Structure 1
Amino acid sequence: MKNWCLYIIMMLAFVSCSEQQTMEDTLASQKLSEKKSVVVATPQDSIASLLHQARWGDSKAYLKLADCYRDGFGVKKDLLGMITMTAIAEERGGIQTMEDYFKDLPNEHEYKTLFMLMERYKSYIPESADSVIQVLRGNDSPEAQTLLAFVMMDQGDTITAKRLIKEAADKGCSLAEIFLIVPDRKPVVKSDADKFAIIAEQVPIIYNLLGNLYYETEENGETEEQLAIEYYMKAEEHAMLGRKGAARVLNYYHSGGNVQLTEDDIKRLELIVKPQQMETE
């Protein structure tokens, strides 16, 4: 079975941009998650306010941002944005696992259904594949259309898959837009960077991906660190910078690289690299 879409989503969106937690950090995150209460985005929460809190390490703000992407509150309704925010909340101790967030959603919510279908499809037995296809065909959202395309691709129907992904991208599905750039799930390479840059402001997690592309050494030994750092800081502005990117920005800065960081910038980057347990009321 080919890698299922959830893991490809996470590879593109966040996990590839973060590093493994130390045992100390993991224990701290678990301790914090045990203390957490249910958090829900409210009309009093503006996106700007939540982004500010998230950038300063508030893991609960990430859960509220996930709510915003879930319901289209202040941002485009977007499954990829929702998954990204829950993944960061998990890494920073806001929840035990991202699956917990989805399990707590109302049963009738379409994103819960789609997430559970992704989980179910991992085993890829014929019976589950058939039932997944039926449910996805009955859902007219562009996200469901994209997931259906992945199933079709797994079953060898690439013509239908590409048509579905194109239609979903035209409807503004972030996940479909990404797969238009990297069809057939090919590895992301620097030649794809210009295409990714076009949609990065609408899909800001891509700034992490662009940072990685320009930071990592090419076969000729060259790297474009300064451009990579600029993209990493763009990701930080949207509260989507991972640990690896934050560590690279700090290393570049401390080694005399051409980047202007304020004291607040440095503090926020340090919080990403080594999260500190936040005081709870």
Structure 2
Amino acid sequence: MQKIFYMLCCALVLLCGTSCEEHMDIENRPISQEVVTPNPKIEKLIQQARQGEIEAYEALAVCYRDGDGVKKSLFNMMTMYMLSCKKSGKDIEDIIKTLDENNPLRLLTEVLNHVRIGEAPQEAVARLRSVSPADAMIYDAIYAFECMNDTLASQQLLKEAEAKGSDIACVLQILLYEELGNQELYKQSLHKYADKFPVLYVKLGDLSMRDEKEGHWEQAAKYYTIADNNGMLTKRGARALSSAFRMLEKEGKIKCDPQEMARLEALVQYK
């Protein structure tokens, strides 16, 4: 069980204006309506987050927690807190412990943070079922996967949890497909959920960076830029985006803005 929760946290650590004057039509890429027309408060916080400001990450986390100016999202909340922790050196588990005792993420953590699923206290499971039935189905899905060795049942339970509104179930589906080595479903899921959870664009950028098809540098840059435009560019993503722009400049396709390249380099300096 602890491994599953660790995988979820690692996904956030690893995933997670344009950066060049000639920007390859990046600003015309399809993105969600929330990003196209954010309210002034969210737009300001995003611009501050793009500069790596810890307070902006934490403020955006609260916005995602409460649905203030953005669609309420446990995973996007956790993403912003993870980015804050990577910048400040804090522990994400300490942040989670400060959440309201009825926050689904805190309850889910209490249930999942055990070596084995059987060690999860049933009173905690019952409380999670009461507060967030959809997220409680994650417990059932992992139980099926870990204790019953029933991958199909686990996948179905995660899909049902997603249908009932669980953000975390969406991401665990991606991780499960990766764990099972199903690259087709893994990539399909990344594309399916990336608009909902923009940090996933970092992972799509990583896949494009490794691709050998013509135009893969441009595609990777577009993906990383979408994450950046949502204030969710991770240390890994900032480093990769910088590399992609340098390769494109070397090929004579763009001319990089030194100030933007310096901003990306500053984002790479996370702890």
TM-score normalised by L of structure 2: 0.75
Query: Within 2, Cα distance between the matches of 1:139 and 1:183?
Result: 25
Say if 2:42 and 2:69, in contact at 8 Å, map to a contact too: yes
Query: Within 2, Cα distance between the matches of 1:67 and 1:83?
Result: 10
Say if 2:50 and 2:231, in contact at 8 Å, map to a contact too: yes
* Structure 2 match to 1:271: 266
Distance 1:17 1:182, change over 3 A: closer
Say whether 1:229 aligns with 2:227.
Answer: no
Amino acid at match of 1:53: Q
* Structure 2 match to 1:10: 9
Which of 166, 169, 183 is the matching residue for 2:162? 169
Runs of 4+ in structure 1 off by over 6 angstroms are: none
> Which segments of 5 or more consecutive residues in structure 2 lack a partner in the other structure?
17-38
| More divergent stretch after superposition (205-214 vs 191-200) | 191-200
Which of 195, 202, 211 is the matching residue for 1:201? 195
Q: What do you get for the CA RMSD once the two structures are aligned?
A: 3.2
Q: CA deviation at 1:269?
A: 0.9
Q: Deviations over 1:130-184 (max 9, x none)?
A: 4554333333343332343223322215454333312222234333234445645
* Structure 2 match to 1:145: 137
Distance 1:260 1:7, change over 3 A: farther
Say whether 1:78 aligns with 2:78.
Answer: no
Report 1:59-138 matches (<5 A): 59-93=54-88, 96-119=90-113, 121=114, 123-124=115-116, 126-128=118-120, 130-138=122-130
Q: Deviations over 1:249-273 (max 9, x none)?
A: 2223234254564445323212211
Say if 1:205 and 1:240, in contact at 8 Å, map to a contact too: yes
Q: CA deviation at 1:217?
A: 5.7
Amino acid at match of 2:52: G
Distance 1:45 1:233, change over 3 A: closer
Say if 1:215 and 1:223, in contact at 8 Å, map to a contact too: no
Q: CA deviation at 1:194?
A: 4.3
Say if 1:216 and 1:223, in contact at 8 Å, map to a contact too: no
Say if 1:70 and 1:77, in contact at 8 Å, map to a contact too: yes
Higher helix share: 2
Q: CA deviation at 1:53?
A: 0.9
Q: CA deviation at 1:80?
A: 1.4
Distance 1:180 1:57, change over 3 A: closer
- Count of residue pairs the alignment pairs up: 244
Amino acid at match of 1:8: M
| More divergent stretch after superposition (100-109 vs 237-246) | 100-109
Say if 2:2 and 2:112, in contact at 8 Å, map to a contact too: no
Q: Deviations over 1:100-135 (max 9, x none)?
A: 21222232333322223232x2x2273436455433
Say if 1:10 and 1:84, in contact at 8 Å, map to a contact too: no
